Amino acid sequence: MAQPFLERNLRIASIDAFIDPPQPRARAIITHGHADHARSGHGAVLATPDTIAIMKTRYGEDAAGSWDPLPFGETRQIDGVTISLHPAGHILGSAQVLLEYQGQRIVVTGDYKRLPDRTAQPFELVKCDLLVTEATFGLPVFQHPDPADEIARLLRSVATFPERAHVIGCYALGKAQRVISLLRESGYDAPIYLHGAMLRLCALYEELGIPLGPLLPSLDVPKTGLAGQIVIAPPSAIKDRWSRRLPDPVLAVASGWMSVKQRARQSGVELPLVISDHADWNELRATIAETETETVWVTHGREDALVYWSQQQGLAAEPLRIEAYEDGPEEEGE
């Protein structure tokens, strides 16, 4: 294909706009609200209305010089570059960015997954000439189980230990709301208790039209009242003093990383739940094939295996090695 109009640091040169830039930039396109993608301090921010609402909630109204909401499927023209956003299925408002310029189509996936999720707009496949794909779980060992089976294991444990509280470590943006929604989908309609760090974003999801059922702050409940109940907390809280005020807690964590047994054991997790908001190895490969792209740039995670696989399919492929997306604490909970 012709020389791409996107640079390898995800800058669109002709309009000096960056996608998910780690440093403050005059013009930024933000794929979704997680902190390794959405930072405060940019000039103009273009993103979906949900992502902008999430950024304002986390960072404040003045976290960007100006906000440019672009709903899914609409287009924005800037100096001959056509920009549109398409659902990535990762968290509420998460988008893939489609850039069109002089007949060339480039898609930047951001973080994505293709499994159904009632808390995010469903992933949409977008055909392109150059695909910039994430690779968080870009190794053949990563094959995520059905999340409904993981929730069923959790509910069996709750039924088996009615005198214990089950505390589930979940990242506060996205994972917490998804786990709550999965519980509701499986028929669990009792109140779910929230650590204080979960309150704001759960309230925002409900405001944005995602029903989560009865939620209560765990702080308001005496210790004995939490026996047999489910409490959602940030992964960092389940091991510290906070969890000691729960009755004999069963420590669970919901994360794609919980498929790595050693990781679960090291973090003292009794009930690892393999629930991921990222594509697994099979989804990553299927997506590359279905976009009919000729060129693949791999970023955000385990890049090399996916580059090698793409080359074996006859595609031009290379790793981007953008340091901003190294596993930070933000990604741990996903």
Minimum distance of Zn ion from residue 39's CB (angstroms)? 12
Helix (H, G, I), strand (E, B) or coil at 316: strand
Size of the residue set binding Zn ion (CB under 5 A): 3
Identified binder of Zn ion from the candidate list 12, 17, 18, 34, rule CB under 5 A: 34
Q: Does 58 bind Zn ion (CB under 5 A)?
A: no
Q: Does 278 bind Zn ion (CB under 5 A)?
A: no
Kindly report the backbone phi and psi dihedral angles of residue 120, in degrees, each rounded to the nearest multiple of 5, phi listed first: -140, 150
Q: What is the largest CA-CA distance in the chain?
A: 66
State both tokens at 115.
């499994």
Report how far residue 277's alpha carbon sits from residue 90's, in angstroms, rounded to the nearest whole number. Answer: 5
Q: Which is nearer to Zn ion, 229 or 276 (CB)?
A: 276
Stretch of 18-26, 36-44, 199-207, 242-250 contacting Zn ion, by CB under 5 A: 36-44
Residue written as token pair 């189980």: 145
Q: Does 113 bind Zn ion (CB under 5 A)?
A: no
| DSSP code, position 33 | S
**60: buried, middle or exposed (CB in 10 Å: 19+, 13-18, 0-12)?**
exposed
Q: Which is nearer to Zn ion, 274 or 322 (CB)?
A: 322
Residues 77, 80, 81, 85: what is their CA dihedral angle, to the nearest 10 degrees? Answer: 20
State both tokens at 333.
């909970």
| DSSP code, position 254 | E
Q: Which is nearer to Zn ion, 111 or 303 (CB)?
A: 111
What binding mask, one character per residue, do residues 65-104 give for Zn ion by CB under 5 A, x or -? ----------------------------------------
- What is the separation of C-alpha 177 from the centre of its chain, rounded to a whole number of angstroms? 11
Stretch of 27-35, 161-169, 213-221, 301-309 contacting Zn ion, by CB under 5 A: 27-35
Q: Does 117 bind Zn ion (CB under 5 A)?
A: no
Minimum distance of Zn ion from residue 159's CB (angstroms)? 33
Stretch of 33-41, 56-64, 183-191, 279-287 contacting Zn ion, by CB under 5 A: 33-41
- Where do contacts with Zn ion occur on this chain (CB under 5 A)? 34, 36, 111
